[in-house]
Amino acid sequence: MGEGPQLNEALERLRTVFRGTAGVELVDSDVAELAGLDDDNCRALLGILEAAGAIDRPRGRVFVCRPASWWTSAPIDS
What is the pLDDT tens value at each position of the chain, 78 positions in all? 446 689 989 999 999 999 999 899 999 999 999 999 999 999 999 999 999 999 999 999 999 998 888 877 776 665
The rounded radius of gyration (Å) of the Cα atoms in the chain is 11
pTM of the model: 0.85
Strand order in the sheet with 62-64: 26-27, 62-64, 56-59
Question: Would you kindly state where each structural domain of the chain is located, as residue ranges?
Answer: 5-72
Alpha helices (H) in 21-73, listed in sequence order: 28-35, 39-51
Just give the CATH number of 5-72. 1.10.10.10
Longest dimension (CA), the chain: 32
